[in-house]
Structure 1
Amino acid sequence: MTTSISLQSWISLWRVPGIGCQTFHKLLQKFGDPESVLNATNNALKQAGLTERQSNAILSSQLDNAKADMLWLDEENHHLVTFHDEKYPTLLREISVAPPLLYVHGNTELLNDPQIAIVGSRNPTQSGRNNAFEFGRHFANTGLCVTSGLALGIDGEAHKGALADNGATIAVTATGLDRVYPASHRQLAHQIVEQGALVSENPIGTAPTAKNFPRRNRIISGLSLGSLVVEAAQKSGSLITADYANEQGRMVFAIPGSIHNPLARGCHKLIRQGAKLVETASDVMEDLAAQIDIETFNVPPESDSGNGSENDDPTVSNDDNSRLLEAMGYDPVSIDDLVLQTGLTPAALSSMLLVMELQGLIASNGRGSYTRISG
């Protein structure tokens, strides 16, 4: 059983300036545990390969520097999972820069459950949001845990999809778990704690800084059997997650999009580099079946995005609906162009587009532009 002093030692060593993941693990191999490191002599630390600066930083460290973390751990459902803990996730332990410890708010048992990462743009199209939500919900319904980064856009929709039918989800954050970033996801974070877990390698009090977000991505991919990129520009943090997944020997999946959509270019790049092109959740489950016992998962039948193509407006014929969908295609198109292509009036079009959007057949891209996503 891990003692309070032992946990303090893990935190205290982790908080020492200049001691990162690689150095921490090197010290564990040399001394066995953080308590022994903190009690080591200057000469012993130097023999372990530390610089003068690192050695002095350890020698001057105090257990009191873990006070905020220990107070946080006193609260309900707050946990610290160390690299020596049996609850430490097996897949994450395999990566080259595994975090020495994990702060967890929520269910620690999920850490070793089969997980699928879903990541993507912070500013997705509506169809991207829909895809993230529906894929998240489908995976959660199978029994997979959906893992993402709590960010705006695709991440948030993936979490929401998993939560929709009481599924499990893990959010890996780039801050200390005493704060929520972005603040607008505070309520979502509370829901995640109820049905899953918030996870971070960062000590309590860590603010959101640019360098922590790419580091966070290696944990998202490291926890997961594979990573699905829904929408991403060519220069995107989501591609960093995919790169980490490749380095870690994990599968990478990508959803293609319109050649005119800038947020599809990152996914197309990944597909050219060997990521699996995904059209349905079954495309992902086929590859995961080699790593998990698929028969133990409840794989629901996949449905289309909408609720059928019946029109609720009796003044509009099914022929009009069919003509409108055919005119739209799957690239963004404006109402003005649809008027020219269909011969329908702007008033009739606006009514039909609203109904079709509610049915999930199309998505609004803003500024009077629409995209067909089903039907």
Structure 2
Amino acid sequence: MQPSSSSSQMLNMGCGSIYHPDWVNIDMVAADRRHVQAHDLRQGLPYADHSFVACYSSHFLEHLDRGQAFNSLRECWRVLQSGGILRVVVPDLETIARHYLELLDQLDRAYWANKIERSGDEQTFKTELANGISADANHITSENQGTEPHNTTSSAKSKLAQMPRLDPEISETTDDLDSQPELWANYDWIMLELLEQSVRSQTGGEMGAYLANLQPEQSEFVRSRIGAELDRYQAALQSPVPSRWHKLRTSSIRSLWQKVRVAIARQLVWLVAGKEASNAFEIGLFRTAGEIHQWMYDRCSLARLLEQVGFSQISFLSATTSQIPDFDRYELDYKDGQVLRPNSIFVEAIKP
């Protein structure tokens, strides 16, 4: 392994499209060949031990499985000098989950308020609902188990009686769930953040479709979640699609050879196993290509992982605070008055 040809002692691992020329920038695919080195980061870092005083990685670890994430952080530990600083930024599972629960609660309250309003009386509605629940439960029990129906009315009524009385103002102002378009839009987005990036099977997925059709009234919440990522995505939609010749001309020999191998494998799978196997092959290729999230982190799991790797003095910071000297000058987390990825955990740790 060799030190980078750059004189910089700061490494940006998995840089994507956010990098600074004063850093050594490396990623699986080079967004800019002048400033970014292409390298399969799953195979380790191509640098000598103790080469850097700082290492930064933003929204990269979640694209690796847990074993790969550990190995990547261990590589950061290896190339850092003693006392070197590691800064990691990943999507914050905790805040996503809290937003989800808050929005779910708001929708739930709106739903029950509407039902109560339409019944005309809250207690009557609860009683009727309890009777309906017990009737359904008796039917299911006797049908599935072949036993005599047992009375669950009192149990259901007891649980429903514990429901808190809803604010009358909610009942007065809520017609039905369809009258909450902004609430639904925010809920749909947070569901995409929570699940879609882990389960998608094609480029962009449902999140891409949502952003491509984003309405003005939805953009405020989305921007509060993903910040400048929204601008980059919308700019990409306006950019011309590179021609096939341009892609070939800018690809490395290794990349071209890999594409040829995949094309041959594609044809063989289709010929030997048919369409269904071919579709499964395509999904497998996509899901191992690096776009999906293979794991999510909160502050506890991330801190534990860093300690397991060997780091100490773990600190949770913000997009605008860092122990790396002059970090704000590089505009990696904060630029033009905007946090680039506000839905994130920002953590730093020290190599002893």
Higher relative contact order (CA 8 A, sep 6+): 2
Length-normalised TM-score, structure 2: 0.23
Length-normalised TM-score, structure 1: 0.22
Which structure has the larger Rg over C-alpha atoms?
Answer: 2
